[in-house]
Structure 1
Amino acid sequence: MLQLPLRRLDLFCTVVDEGGVTRAAERLHVAQPWVSAQLRSLEKAVAAPLFVRDGRRLALTEAGRRLYAWATEVLAGGAQVQRDIEHLSSGTAGSLIVATSMAIGTYLVPPLLTELRKERAGADITVRISEPAAALRSVEIGEVDFAVATWSDEIDHGALHAEKLWEESLVLACAPDGPPHADAIDLAEIAELPVVGVPAGVAFDHMLTHQLRRHGVDRVPYVIRLGHAEAMKRAVAANDWVCLAPRYVVADDVAADRLRAVEIRDARLVEGIGLFHRAAKYFSPLQEAAVATLREISVARAIGAAAPVPPVAPSDG
């Protein structure tokens, strides 16, 4: 098993990830018969069938599932070692690659990492922004050091270390002169408004749908679903629509009077912020500093949320 070529393991994982030989061959820019031949050689090497035909698709056998779990860990470790060696060879003071989901990577993480960069003149910091599932996948295969993405209790994070850091409150973002014409509404009133949503099935959609259903809202009348917060905000402002968004996403727009933030009176909707990394991940000093910064914010948010509200002083009138 340990003598299996990494290239063959990578091809096997690609077939699994792509859901079949044809798509794997297209992704790797090789002929389909060559991929099939490599899989047969791999099955011969491990002395067990790895796939069974399930209708028109390939399904992993028990041996295939075990090999896939082992192979992904081996490939991820290899990618990490390669990156570490490259950084040592280039003399880089420190390297950090973070994967994030869309809004978090656009508004939340960059200010934190730019401050970290100011403190470390030789640091090489990269933030990759993608859909949450893609961000977590890049962690699994060792392309990035960790991910900061929307947390959803309903999503299985597999073998990754998953840590919920803190929660960001959601508000109803509205056009300056559009509905609703109030500073606060009840959650049920959203059903009467034209709402811009995120693509169905992404982590933010899972998270929001679960919270809405918990508060008795089973259906939201989405007029359109858009894949990035900037597109959502522009659609809201241009069409007198609304969207549910984290407060940090709309703060600058509200301050500039491009949008209004309407509070939800009878429900607290939040976006969980999660930290994800491989369980066996080795963190460099720079990477440890970045993780420590995130955890410090988490502790500060928790203390702030637990602090008692100061009493209102009586007026002289």
Structure 2
Amino acid sequence: MDTRVPLRRLEMFCLVVDEGGVTRAAKRLMVAQPAVSAQVTSLEKTLGAELFVRAGSRLVLTEAGQRVYHWAKEVLAGSVQVQRDVDELAAGTAGSVVVAASMAIGTYLLPPIMTGLRRRRPGAEITVHINEPAMALRSAQLGEVDFAVTSWLDEDLPDALSAEKLWEEPLILCASPDGPPDGDEVRVRDLAMLPFVGVPTTVAFHRLLQSQLHAHGIADLPVMIRLGHAEAIKQAVADNGWVCFAPWYAVTRDVAAGRLRQVRLLDAAFHEGIGLYHRTAKYFSPLQTAALDALREVAASHGS
């Protein structure tokens, strides 16, 4: 096998696999479909193996294609990491950590941890990107970030990713100071009578909450509106006398300030797992290791 393959060709091949076909890959790249097909054909000729077979209207990876796909992912992720390292050295800014996080974790949980790290290391360059968990994991897999911290996903992951469940964060039922319910304690069966502010159904938080509700016999909550950011959700609860479920780290200050009211569930406890994800073959610099240590220190405090 001739392994002298242009990275661009590997990128196109992986995109065809990830997007589920040549047409969608070409649309994503905003190029003509024949250009993508030609790159895949050239890759097959270079490697001397057929990478796809057609199953009806779909392209399916052959056994060789699956092996090449995993190899290509590692090559591309490694090239991104090397470029980042070289850029940092050239700019004289060696000593950086880049993290991807899901919305609430990146907004409320990570900032105090990362700013604490920055205070201890004045020369550090720290960046936190906020995105949906799936996109955060993809960034970690591609080497665009050093690691991702998201809601724990009970799903199969690519072999290139390692996962570590750090801790479980309580999910709190929050209400406005003067809105329903009348008291500060309810049972699970009472949830069906409350006006909820939810998140979009495509968001991972919705799925983890639904699975726990279903385990307690609650099919669906009465949702008044679905909003995509915790600040908007909390504002809607406070302004309209509605309720919501939120991680404790996202509402601590609001409850302390009297803007929101915590309502205790008498017969259930809901949680959000906090997950750490990174490439299995990732090399961590001293600063990146310190960032991981800071997260694990918080995890240890939750377990004590």
TM-score band, normalised by shorter chain: over 0.9
How far residue 40 of structure 1 moved from its aligned partner, in angstroms, is 1.2
Note the alpha carbon deviations across 1:227-278, whole angstroms, 9 max, x for none.
Answer: 2212221222232221111111112222232221211111111111111111
Q: Which residue of 1 aligns with 2:149?
A: 148
- Matched to 2:59, the amino acid is L
How far residue 173 of structure 1 moved from its aligned partner, in angstroms, is 1.4
Identity of aligned residues (%): 62
Give the secondary-structure state (helix, strand or coil) at the position aligned to 2:278: strand
RMSD of Structure 2 on Structure 1 (CA): 1.6
Taking the aligned partners of 1:259 and 1:77, their CA distance within structure 2 comes to: 46
- Matched to 1:286, the amino acid is L
Give the secondary-structure state (helix, strand or coil) at the position aligned to 2:228: coil
- Matched to 2:177, the amino acid is P
In the TM superposition, 1:107-186 aligns within 5 A as: 107-153=108-154, 155-159=155-159, 160-186=161-187
**Cα distance change of structure 1 residues 56 and 173 upon mapping to structure 2, 3 Å threshold:** farther
Taking the aligned partners of 1:190 and 1:262, their CA distance within structure 2 comes to: 11
Preserved contact between residue 151 and residue 203 of structure 1 (Cα < 8 Å): no
Preserved contact between residue 85 and residue 94 of structure 2 (Cα < 8 Å): no
> Normalising by structure 2, what TM-score?
0.94
- Matched to 1:104, the amino acid is I
In the TM superposition, 1:15-30 aligns within 5 A as: 15-30=16-31
Q: Which moved more, 1:189-198 or 1:200-209?
A: 200-209
- Matched to 2:257, the amino acid is A
How far residue 208 of structure 1 moved from its aligned partner, in angstroms, is 1.5
How far residue 150 of structure 1 moved from its aligned partner, in angstroms, is 0.3
Q: Which residue of 1 aligns with 2:210?
A: 209
2:66 paired with 1:65: yes
Q: Which moved more, 1:291-300 or 1:42-51?
A: 42-51
Taking the aligned partners of 1:270 and 1:295, their CA distance within structure 2 comes to: 18
Name stretches of at least 5 consecutive residues in structure 1 with no aligned partner: 304-317
- Matched to 1:279, the amino acid is T
Taking the aligned partners of 2:156 and 2:225, their CA distance within structure 1 comes to: 27
Give the secondary-structure state (helix, strand or coil) at the position aligned to 2:217: coil
Name stretches of at least 5 consecutive residues in structure 2 with no aligned partner: none
How far residue 125 of structure 1 moved from its aligned partner, in angstroms, is 0.6
Taking the aligned partners of 2:183 and 2:171, their CA distance within structure 1 comes to: 17
> Normalising by structure 1, what TM-score?
0.90
Taking the aligned partners of 2:50 and 2:226, their CA distance within structure 1 comes to: 42
- Matched to 2:182, the amino acid is H
Q: Which residue of 1 aligns with 2:91?
A: 90
Give the secondary-structure state (helix, strand or coil) at the position aligned to 1:26: helix
Preserved contact between residue 26 and residue 32 of structure 2 (Cα < 8 Å): yes
How far residue 95 of structure 1 moved from its aligned partner, in angstroms, is 0.6
Preserved contact between residue 184 and residue 262 of structure 2 (Cα < 8 Å): yes
- Matched to 1:170, the amino acid is L
- How many pairs does the alignment contain? 302
**Cα distance change of structure 1 residues 56 and 228 upon mapping to structure 2, 3 Å threshold:** farther
Q: Which residue of 2 aligns with 1:306?
A: none
Taking the aligned partners of 1:178 and 1:40, their CA distance within structure 2 comes to: 63
